[in-house]
Amino acid sequence: MLSRVLTAVLALTVAGRATAQELRPDQVKFREVYRELVETNTSLSVGSCTIAAAKMGARLKAAGFADSDITYFSAPDHPKEGGVVAILHGSSKTAKPMLLLGHLDVVEAKRADWVRDPFVLNEENGVFYGRGTSDMKVIDATWVDMLARFKEQKFVPKRTIKLALTCGEETLEAFNGASWLATNKRDLIDAEFALNEGGGGRADKDGKVLTQGVQVGEKVVQQFRMETTNPGGHSSVPIKDNAIYQLAQALLKVRDYDFPLELNDTTRAFFAKAGAGRTDPTGLAMQAIAKDPGDKAAEAELNKDRGFHSMLRTTCVATLLDGGHAENALPQRAGANINCRMFPGDTMEGTKAKLEAAIADPGVKLIPLQPIRAKSMPAPMNPKVMGAFESVAAKYWPGVPVIPTMSTGASDALYLIPVGIPTYGVPGFWSGPEGSGAHGLNEHMAAKSVYTGRDYLTDVVKTLADAD
């Protein structure tokens, strides 16, 4: 019995050594950066982006970055929500810099809800688990590791490469470092373009990469307080004129209202490329809508998919509800939070007007909530940037299409594009049909995706850094 146990232990030890030997020395160093980021809690409640930024800055300094090329920043009233900017100087005096952007903060994660500790980088059966493993510390680690290697290798790019690691992307009430830099330190992050989160690939159940996506544009979040009021009275003498009933009727109208279909260059290209060659009803509808946005049959088919439905228009949905003031009283007030994701180019005023027309009840008030966002505009389909993504992808995944996409969510790109820095969500990493668990339980990413995506992005950055 003892010999069998020893044999099993030896087998596990040898297997562990074999796995470790499969990694190149540079991948081992990268894994340590990845581990340190995941294991540095940067959630808003108890974590600290400032500590994570300091750790990453220390790594860059150890690689040879001068103190003058590393800038830490934070707000006095948000001391734990700081960030860092680092600069790797290029040789050209004419080529504009490029910016690598990443947010350090993560969504809250309760240990009791997770199978594993969310703030420990767990690797099991070729999969990394932990909060931030996909959103987006894998990219943060890639940027830091890449610049450290470039400095150690004495690689001097033609184009200056800047790195900005910020906080506040995941939570509206936090100090948003990307917004602060765009407003207060625009020169520090000045760039011809920026690379950010938001893209990525999809693989089948066997891990075969099917597509890679580049985020070129995103929706903007705008929230409204929907409210009804009433004189109220005693619950023993109910009447139909009731603030809760009135609110309920308005909410049903919001539920049933579809904003008009819209297409832009990004979504038109997405549907054309993603639908190319497909003969199923959805694929044919994708091709048809790219050619004719007025094709109602194609729209109806695409609306069956909640993702495509959202990609084709502004959407609004009720997310919070409150009402009444006593168990034995008719309600004097009822309210709901309406969360809208506005299609690029749409405004708060226009969205509010369409909702009011759909509700068609002057007794229902729609109050815009702060922050009121400027309208979002997609980045241009820069052939230099798109060409680099495509040419390098052809070496890693021959025949796999690189497709422009518009995010139905939002990222920190919304702060950079308005100040003249077009921002692109990078391809490279991928997830399977089950997704990555980002923002949810047991967030994860396949080790193969992590290491391959990191190598792919290194080649992309080198390509862009040496382009005119």
Whether residues 281 and 345 share a domain: the answer is yes
The predicted pLDDT at position 2 comes to 32
Same domain, 224 and 209: no
Is 5 inside a domain boundary?
no
Do 75 and 165 reside in the same domain of the chain?
yes
Handedness of CA 449, 455, 459, 462 (dihedral sign): positive
Same-domain check for residues 327 and 430: no
Whether 96 is in a domain gets the answer yes
pLDDT tens for the 468 residues of the chain, in order: 333 433 333 333 333 333 445 899 999 999 999 999 999 999 999 999 999 999 999 999 999 999 999 999 999 999 999 999 999 999 999 999 999 999 999 999 999 999 999 999 999 999 999 999 999 999 999 999 999 999 999 999 999 999 999 999 998 788 999 999 999 999 999 999 999 999 999 999 999 999 999 999 899 899 999 999 999 999 999 999 999 999 999 999 999 999 999 999 999 999 999 999 999 999 999 999 999 999 999 999 999 999 999 999 999 999 999 999 999 999 999 999 999 999 999 999 999 999 999 999 999 999 999 988 877 788 889 999 999 999 999 999 999 999 999 988 889 998 999 899 999 999 999 999 999 999 999 999 999 999 999 999 999 999 999 988
Find residue 432's DSSP bridge partners. Answer: none
Residue 13 lies in a domain: no
Same domain, 302 and 437: no
Same domain (yes/no): 177, 132? yes
Strands 333-342 and 220-229: antiparallel
Answer whether 445's CB lies under 8 Å from 431's CB.
yes
CB 340, CB 316: distance < 8 Å: yes
Assess whether 31 and 164 both reside in one domain.
yes
Q: 427 in a domain, yes or no?
A: yes
Q: Among 335, 368, 401, identify where a domain stops.
A: 368
Same domain, 61 and 127: yes
Whether residue 7 is contained in a domain is answered as no
DSSP letters of 65-131?
Answer: --GGGEEEEEETTEEEEEEEEEEE--S-SSSPPEEEEEE--B----GGGSSS-TTS-EEETTEEEST
Residue with tokens 């929230």: 223
CB count within 10 Å of CB 274 equals 21
Which of 368, 394, 425 lies at the terminal end of a domain, its last residue? Answer: 368
| CA–CA–CA angle 300, 301, 303 (5° rounding) | 65
Residues 103, 211: one domain? yes
How many Å apart are CA 157 and CA 22, to the nearest integer?
A: 30
Closest CA to 104 of 60, 54, 169: 169
Amino acid at the residue 128: F
DSSP string, 242-283: -HHHHHHHHHHHHHH--PPP---HHHHHHHHHHHTT--SHHH
State whether 265 and 384 are in the same domain: no
What residue spans of 22-136 are helical by DSSP H? 25-38, 49-63
The CATH number given to whatever domain includes residue 234 is: 3.30.70.360
Q: φ, ψ for residue 193 (rounded to 5)? A: -160, 165
Q: Is residue 11 part of a domain?
A: no
For 117-219, strand residue ranges (E) read: 122-124, 127-129, 161-166, 193-196, 200-203, 209-218
65 and 203 co-located in one domain: yes
Q: Out of 340, 368, 396, pick the residue that ends a domain.
A: 368
**What confidence score (pLDDT) does residue 163 get?**
98
Q: What pLDDT is attached to residue 5?
A: 36
Q: Which tokens sit at 40? A: 């540095």
- In total, how many domains does the chain have? 2
Is residue 404 domain-resident?
yes
What is the identity of the amino acid at 436?
S
Query: Is the residue at 10 inside a domain?
Result: no
Say yes or no: 40 and 189 in one domain.
yes
CATH code of the domain covering residue 89: 3.40.630.10
Burial of 380 (0-12, 13-18, 19+ CB in 10 A): middle
**Domain assignment of residue 381, given as a range:** 22-218+377-465
pTM over 0.75: yes
